[in-house]
Amino acid sequence: MICCSKYECLECYLITCAETIELPIVSDVDETLHMVYEFNGTAVRTDIEAEAGQFLVVPNTFNENYSYKIAFYKSDGSLLNDTCYILKTMNTIFTNPPQPITTTSGKFQFIGAIGQTTFQHSDLEGVDTLIVTTEKGTMYEGLDYDQYRFDPVGGIITFNQSVEGQEVTIVWLKTVQ
């Protein structure tokens, strides 16, 4: 049974003949993850390969028109992105083939300088998805002391507290027009 304090809801249109599904979940690690999901009260586990900054690609073992609880566990036993997911699947019937979505991603790592509360880079301009971690764990966007604010127009991350002396990792993903 999957028990989490935080769930994020996702919707996924299934192409029933596809072998894999790309989920709108960006990995913050390069490693094998244990994907566990519940189907009709039964827990199912399979391992998937994850690449930092990339969407998760999972085997298409899902039924259409069903809601699944899903968790992705790292090798150390912690949850990917500190989150579990509820995945609602829906059938897709294409009359015209979809246009591919092109994305680009990247990663920055640094040790916070004395009093550092901002990070700016032109690669962050227009970013759709941002994952920020420090030695203290995953940070979330918001106004609380341990969170950050993000300006995608200027590519600026403003930390609500100094990251001085901490190793900071920023993984980003954006859609290319």
pLDDT at 164: 93
Q: Do 22 and 67 fall within a single domain?
A: yes
Whether 41 and 61 map to the same domain: the answer is yes
12: domain CATH number?
2.60.40
39 and 69 both lie in a single domain:
yes
Please choose, from the candidates 131, 137, 124, the residue with its C-alpha nearest in 3D space to the C-alpha of residue 166. Answer: 137
Domain ends where: 91, 115, 136? 91
Give the span between the Cα atoms of 156 and 91, in whole angstroms.
Answer: 39
Asked whether the whole model's pTM tops 0.75, one would answer no
How high is the mean pLDDT in each 10-residue block of the chain (177 residues)? Answer: 70 71 87 88 88 89 81 90 81 63 86 94 91 88 91 94 93 82
Q: What is the pLDDT of residue 1?
A: 57
31 and 56 share one domain: yes
46 and 81 inside one domain: yes
Residues 86 and 16 placed together within one structural domain of the fold: yes
**pLDDT at position 113:** 94
Q: Are residues 132 and 82 in the same domain?
A: no
1 within some domain: no
Which structure tokens are listed for 48?
């998937």
Confidence (pLDDT) at 122: 93
Domain of 80, in residue numbers: 7-91
**Do 67 and 141 belong to one domain?**
no
- pLDDT for residue 177: 61
Whose CA is closest to 3, among 29, 34, 36?
36
- The pLDDT score that the predictor gives to residue 84 is 84
Q: Are residues 86 and 116 part of one domain?
A: no
Total number of domains in the chain? 2
